[in-house]
Amino acid sequence: MERLNIGLIGWGTVGCGVIEILNSNSEILRKRLGVELYLKRVADIDLEKPRPVDVPMDILTVDANQILEDPDIDIVVELIGGTEPAKTFIRKALERGKHVVTANKALLAVHGNELFDFARKNQRIIAYEASVAGGIPFIKALREGLAANNIDTILGILNGTANFILTRMTETGVSFKDALKEAQERGYAEADPTLDIEGIDTAHKLAIAAAIAFNMPVSFDAVYKEGITNIDPLDIEFGREFGFQLKLLAIARKTSKGIELRVHPTFVPCDHVLAGVRGAYNAVYVHGDAVGNVMFYGLGAGMMPTGSAVVSDIIDLARDITHGASVRIPPLGSYEVEEAELKPIDELETSYYFRFSAVDQPGVLSKISGILGKYNISISAVIQKGRHVGGAVPIVMITHEAVEKAVRKALDEIDRLDVVRAKTQLVRIENLSGNGI
Ligand code: NDP
Ligand code: HSE
């Protein structure tokens, strides 16, 4: 075999990155693989749109079937995103004996179990390195590099857009809207940026990573999700006064009460390494019983970093194909994927930041703290600002560890007090010092 034929569907941001790498690094890749990676056809529904990377006219098509039905194509790269027609394209490719590379975490998080099953039945591979943490080889690390470990924690920043927005808001005070616009212009954001800012994209990635780490099916619906759209710059500022930085964290943790799967804005200590992860960078920790803590850091989005991950999958497949290996690594890294007990968010025990909006009069603080006491929520620090926001003053509290269910009940009661003028803001705090993370 002298060359492997690749068909790429989706000449967008990531597609351009892949084409650029295949072109500029073709010689290096040929030497590493012993075969040529040949881009035989590129499909996109819009061939008129200006793109940062050119493709010869004679390999372009608007019809993905020209790739899927071409018997000479060995590897189909799906980079259109979304559920349909991406899912149908992938199934069709597998049915026709092609291996598939995708970056489509939205699809895999919801339909991954079915698609992986289908790939297995067809003795073909779905490779998906770019679906989690962009340019960081995180899937490879989980499935291969850390395969010796009983993993109990994955914790980190998995969305470049959200981290970019929070960084810009924290460091330059730009509005949420302007920071989002800039992230979109840089090609970080999803076609529908709601996925980024509502924590859904992070949850897609966490569901995939947790399935590998904990030998369980991809369980996107079980991930608790909260985005950054309700974050007020005030909270970023107050958090800093308490020594915290705000991050959108993905957390998957084995506990004695089941596995926690959650995505939400989180305060982390300012001096913790995660606080220093800026812009579109991702950083994710894994804790394994043998290895201890390992951290992965790099660009989580963008044309070239994501292209790097996609091409690394093509390389893996090329090595498998040329050496006759069929399915060397099962999709989720395990032959026995089993349902796991999941811990509902209600049972979470953590510290909290509350910002109450209350009228500035004697006795308010005691009413609030009385209710917190009733629900066994202990206060570790409090500040009241003389600053009026919408006719009320912010009272900011940090708690010791409390149970989420009790916190919800307490806030519900507090928000009904006649001295409280707006819904209380809640941000969970992750104490990252105890276990070395
Ligand atoms: P883009 O929107 O930039 O590119 C998708 C391309 O596919 C567009 O050119 C689109 O055309 C085209 N397309 C849509 N439907 C079809 C179809 N039926 N047939 C052929 N072409 C089609 O997206 P990205 O490159 O940013 O993302 C691609 C995938 O990679 C997504 O799954 C995304 O989640 C994932 N990903 C993206 C990252 C990033 O940094 N951007 C990082 C990691 C993963 P048109 O524009 O006309 O709709
Ligand atoms: N929209 C995603 C992000 C792309 O911002 O992280 C990478 O998955």
Q: Read off the amino acid at residue 128.
A: Y
Residue 437 lies in a domain: no
- Domain finish residue from 290, 322, 354: 322
In the DSSP assignment, the letter for residue 58 is: G
Choose among 247, 317, 251: nearest CA to 281: 247
The order of strands in the sheet holding 126-127 is 60-61, 36-43, 3-9, 75-78, 99-102, 126-127
- Domain finish residue from 299, 330, 364: 299
Task: Please give the average per-residue pLDDT across 107-116, as a whole number.
Answer: 98
85 & 101 share domain: yes
154 & 264 share domain: yes
Percent above pLDDT 70 for the chain? 98
Which segments of 192-257 are extended strands (E)?
Answer: 224-225, 244-255
Position 1 pLDDT exceeds 90: no
Residue 330 lies in a domain: no
Q: What is the CATH number of the domain that holds 67?
A: 3.40.50.720
Residue 214 lies in a domain: yes
Return the pLDDT at 325: 74
SS (H, E, C) 243-289: CEEEEEEEEEEEECCEEEEEEEEEEEECCCHHHHCCCCEEEEEEEEC
- DSSP helix/strand/coil, 149: coil
Residue 334 lies in a domain: no
Return the pLDDT at 432: 83
Distances (CA, A) of 218 to 170, 197, 210, 221, 263: 34, 22, 7, 9, 15
CB 10 near ligand 1, within 6 Å: yes
Return the pLDDT at 257: 94
**Lowest-confidence segment of 305-309, 339-343, 349-353, 380-384 by average pLDDT:** 380-384
Residue 240 lies in a domain: yes
Measured at the CA of 336, the angle between CA 330 and CA 338, to 5 degrees, comes to 120
Position 327 pLDDT exceeds 90: no
In the block, residue with structure tokens 């609030």: 368
Expressed as residue numbers, the domain containing 416 is: 345-429
For residue 235, give every residue at least 6 positions away whose Cβ sits within 8 Å of its Cβ, in sequence order, or none: 246, 353, 355, 425, 427
In the DSSP assignment, the letter for residue 378 is: -
Classify strands 258-269 and 244-255 as parallel, antiparallel or unpaired. Answer: antiparallel
146 & 217 share domain: yes
224 & 155 share domain: yes
Distances (CA, A) of 40 to 11, 16, 57, 400: 14, 15, 12, 60
Q: Which of 98, 205, 254, 343 is catalytic?
A: 205
Specify the ligand 2 atom closest to the Cα of 164.
5
143 & 131 share domain: no
Q: What is the pTM of this model?
A: 0.97
- Domain finish residue from 288, 322, 356: 322
84 & 197 share domain: no
pLDDT-derived band at 384, boundaries 50, 70, 90: confident
For residue 137, give every residue at least 6 positions away whose Cβ sits within 8 Å of its Cβ, in sequence order, or none: 129, 296, 309, 312
Euclidean distance between CA atoms 384 and 6, whole angstroms = 61
Helix (H) or strand (E) holding 407, with range, is helix 404-415
Position 19 pLDDT exceeds 80: yes
181 & 233 share domain: yes
Averaged pLDDT of the chain = 95
Which of 79, 161, 192 most suits a substitution to test ligand 2, by most atoms within 8 Å of the C-beta?
161
Position 419 pLDDT exceeds 80: yes
72 & 116 share domain: yes
Residue 340 lies in a domain: no
pLDDT tens figures, 47-64: 999 999 999 999 999 999
191 & 69 share domain: no
Return the pLDDT at 437: 62
Euclidean distance between CA atoms 135 and 14, whole angstroms = 11
Residue 337 lies in a domain: no
Return the pLDDT at 436: 56
CB 353 near ligand 1, within 6 Å: no
Distance 329 CA to ligand 1 centre (A): 27
Position 18 pLDDT exceeds 80: yes
CB 160 near ligand 2, within 6 Å: yes
How many other C-beta atoms lie within 10 A of the C-beta of residue 34? 12
pLDDT-derived band at 434, boundaries 50, 70, 90: low
**Lowest-confidence segment of 5-19, 139-153, 303-317, 373-387 by average pLDDT:** 373-387
Q: What is the CATH number of the domain that holds 249?
A: 3.30.360.10
pLDDT tens figures, 83-102: 999 999 999 999 999 999 99
For residue 231, give every residue at least 6 positions away whose Cβ sits within 8 Å of its Cβ, in sequence order, or none: 166, 169, 176, 246, 265
Please tell me which residue, 328 or 114, carries the higher pLDDT value.
Answer: 114
CB 333 near ligand 2, within 6 Å: no
pLDDT-derived band at 249, boundaries 50, 70, 90: very high
Position 390 pLDDT exceeds 80: no
For residue 255, give every residue at least 6 positions away whose Cβ sits within 8 Å of its Cβ, in sequence order, or none: 343
Taking the mean position of all CA atoms in its chain, how far away is CA 45? Answer: 27
Nearest CA to ligand 1 atom 14: 80
Specify the ligand 2 atom closest to the Cα of 105.
8
Percent above pLDDT 90 for the chain? 92
In the DSSP assignment, the letter for residue 389 is: B
CB 306 near ligand 1, within 6 Å: yes
Return the pLDDT at 173: 84
Which segments of 158-257 are extended strands (E)?
Answer: 224-225, 244-255
| Residue 6, phi then psi, degrees to nearest 5 | -115, 135
23 & 130 share domain: yes
pLDDT-derived band at 328, boundaries 50, 70, 90: confident
Euclidean distance between CA atoms 112 and 102, whole angstroms = 11
Residue 436 lies in a domain: no
Domain count for the chain: 3
Taking the mean position of all CA atoms in its chain, how far away is CA 30? Answer: 32
Helix (H) or strand (E) holding 295, with range, is strand 292-299
362 & 277 share domain: no
397 & 359 share domain: yes
Task: Please give the average per-residue pLDDT across 269-277, as a whole number.
Answer: 95
